[in-house]
Structure 1
């Protein structure tokens, strides 16, 4: 069977159960997110609704009607002067990692953000996570520092490496 093209699009509310399923996989099995309890679809609704502004986007990758993953830009910090900076995240169905889906989503997201008066994008990567480090470096993100043992999950402390990328001059 021939695979159809993977396409990216704006997330819709009916995607929320699948987005929650993908996210909860990482909550339960990895330190990639520092949430420690899985969320319900209802609990994730506020997160979904926060991605309806010009700078705060939520994109999904889809193939044959199946959502493969998502990428989002979120508020970096709450104070007004940070308005032109965003934090990016990407989560893929575990069987879809390493196939370019994350790059596809991030590229589209960065293109949209360049037109939305976003100056800088930031991303945190829980270490170790070589695939995520490659993704961010491959898209022009520069390492800016490591928060040592900043989160505790699964009975141990984890480091998070932070990256930044200029958006509006890309």
Structure 2
């Protein structure tokens, strides 16, 4: 088990993991699978913002990834970020999320992040909520029926972690 910074070489595996969730779930409200150029842009933007983007491996292959992105563009929000954590379908239940999230929080704190916001689709699967609570996130609210995907309206649960 290894958590390390994501590299450009990891982007195809990251893209594959994310494509699964775009196509089959409401874990993301994205409707179209981002192409490799878009993943390169996202990776570069996160690096330019000096925010963490990490992967974890199983048997030498990327099994999950996590990153922080700016919460809002306005400068007053510069110490607040939103996290994203995704695990390959084949690695669900193997502890990837529990490796990724604390590493992400430690790295975020090290670069001056004060608040991390989790926006979690309320799909009925509580795994992401449990993971975030396990590492100190607290409930911050609910937005009702804010996403429409797979022919249904979905709420989001907002959670917050403070450095």
For the aligned pair, the TM-score class normalised by the smaller chain equals: over 0.9
Q: How many matched pairs?
A: 162
| Segments ≥4 residues shifted beyond 4 Å | none
Q: CA contact under 8 A between 1:148 and 1:159: conserved in structure 2? A: yes
Q: What's the counterpart of residue 80 of structure 1?
A: 75
Gaps of 5+ in 2: none
Partners of 2:79 and 2:48 lie apart in 1 by 12
Does residue 46 in structure 1 map to residue 68 in structure 2?
Answer: no
1:27-53: CA deviations, max 9, x gaps? Answer: 000011001111211222211111214
CA-CA distance at 1:112 after TM superposition: 1.1
CA-CA distance at 1:99 after TM superposition: 2.0
Does residue 32 in structure 1 map to residue 27 in structure 2?
Answer: yes
Does residue 152 in structure 1 map to residue 154 in structure 2?
Answer: no
Among candidates 129, 136, 143, match of residue 133 of structure 1? 129
Q: What's the counterpart of residue 22 of structure 1?
A: 17
Partners of 1:23 and 1:52 lie apart in 2 by 19
Partners of 2:51 and 2:112 lie apart in 1 by 11
CA-CA distance at 1:87 after TM superposition: 0.5
Does residue 108 in structure 1 map to residue 94 in structure 2?
Answer: no
> CA RMSD of the aligned region, Å?
1.1
Among candidates 2, 5, 28, match of residue 10 of structure 1? 5
1:74-128: CA deviations, max 9, x gaps? Answer: 1000000100011001001012112211111111111111111111110011012
Partners of 1:163 and 1:47 lie apart in 2 by 23
Gaps of 5+ in 1: 1-5
Does residue 165 in structure 1 map to residue 140 in structure 2?
Answer: no
Q: What's the counterpart of residue 3 of structure 1?
A: none
CA-CA distance at 1:63 after TM superposition: 2.5
Query: TM-score, normalising length from structure 1?
Result: 0.91
Among candidates 116, 119, 125, match of residue 121 of structure 1? 116
Partner SS, residue 71 of structure 1:
strand
